[in-house]
Amino acid sequence: MSAELPRAGFVEQIMGLPVSVHVRGEGARGADVAAAVEQVFAELREVDALFSTYKPDSEVSRINAGTLAPADAGPLLHEVFALSVIARERTGGLFDVNLPAGDGRTYDPSGLVKGWAADRAARHLVALDDLDFCLNAGGDVVMGCGRADAEPWRAGIEDPREGGTLLGVLERRDGAVATSGTAARGAHLVDPRDGSLPHALLSVTVVGPSLTWADVLATAAFVRGEDAVDWLRGQVGYEALAVHADGRVSRTPSLLVHDLVKAPPS
């Protein structure tokens, strides 16, 4: 990090998640940046109002309550419907927004919406000339560098075995990093095929061009379990690192992880 380069940070709690935006470059503290960041936050709040399963008047809640026909939902819901189908196909059913619930299934696109919404909102930051940005939504990251000579952003990967410590650092000028696991909120990821709780891995981090897909693939790989990294090799453009329940760390061969706090036994 360059100490003299102007940099600004913004944080808001949206969708029950901390959303942080950092901007680097001359003008990082200017009004244009503040306005763009506010657009990001406003858009995420709008998405939350539509998709929250906690808000009874959201479109998702009304669909689940039977008071809104999916066909009558708005365009953003339809975009997510389409992505949900692709996500299920692309992951062979390891990712599915229709989750087992009691005797039936409930429609909960939360696992897709976070990454998709952050990816989408980041376009307001991409539009900033000669500025670099890094958006972190609850541990999922999308980055970009608008400065031609920008040094890469350094994204730490949290070690699920020891809270508050880092496993290593990824350097990227753009793209996305998503991590799925159970460390931060206990067991919340279920296998959509049978409702069981995956236990082979502690976390999976996926790196690639799109946060929407990095997030979906990280969740799917976590559900996949032991051979998650091998499975992810079939996803062109994406790299992965998995921390296994027994402490082993595996990763795709091309993934460069710098400055490891603790060298993974690979």
Partner 1 sequence: MRRIVTAFATTVTAIGLPLSQHTSTGGSGPVQVALTVAGATITAADAVQVASGNQNDHEINAVAVPILDQEVVAAQSAQVDTVSGATVTSDGYLASLQSAIDQAHL
Residue range at the interface with partner 1 (CB under 8 A); choices 77-85, 96-104, 183-191, 227-235: 183-191
Separation of alpha carbons 65 and 57, rounded Å: 10
Can residue 149 be called a binding residue for partner 1 (CB under 8 A)?
no
In sequence order, what are the beta bridge partners of 135?
Answer: 21, 142
Separation of alpha carbons 158 and 203, rounded Å: 9
CB of 196 to partner 1, least distance (A): 17
Q: Which residue, 6 or 68, has its beta carbon nearer to partner 1?
A: 6
Which pairs from 64-69 meet CB under 8 Å and 24+ separation?
A: 64/106, 64/107
Can residue 136 be called a binding residue for partner 1 (CB under 8 A)?
yes
Can residue 55 be called a binding residue for partner 1 (CB under 8 A)?
no
Choosing from 140, 212, 217, 242, the residue that interacts with partner 1 (CB under 8 A) is 140
Can residue 20 be called a binding residue for partner 1 (CB under 8 A)?
yes
User: Residues 136, 19, 181, CA angle at the centre, nearest 5°?
Assistant: 60
CB of 44 to partner 1, least distance (A): 13
Three-state secondary structure of 200-228: CEEEEEEEECCHHHHHHHHHHHHHHCCCH
In sequence order, what are the beta bridge partners of 180?
Answer: 204
Choosing from 37, 77, 122, 155, the residue that interacts with partner 1 (CB under 8 A) is 155
Can residue 157 be called a binding residue for partner 1 (CB under 8 A)?
yes
Choosing from 84, 91, 180, 212, the residue that interacts with partner 1 (CB under 8 A) is 180
In this structure, are residues 134 and 172 in contact, taking their beta carbons and an 8 Å threshold?
Answer: no
Can residue 122 be called a binding residue for partner 1 (CB under 8 A)?
no
DSSP secondary structure, 99-160, as one string: EEETTEEEE-THHHHHHHHHHHHTHHHHTSTT-EEEEEETTEEEEEE-STTPPPEEEEEE-T
Can residue 200 be called a binding residue for partner 1 (CB under 8 A)?
no
Can residue 69 be called a binding residue for partner 1 (CB under 8 A)?
no
Choosing from 143, 145, 220, 229, the residue that interacts with partner 1 (CB under 8 A) is 143
Q: Which residues bind partner 1 (CB under 8 A)?
A: 1-4, 7-11, 13, 16-18, 20, 22, 114, 134, 136, 138-141, 143, 153-158, 160, 163-166, 169-170, 177-188, 203, 205, 259, 261
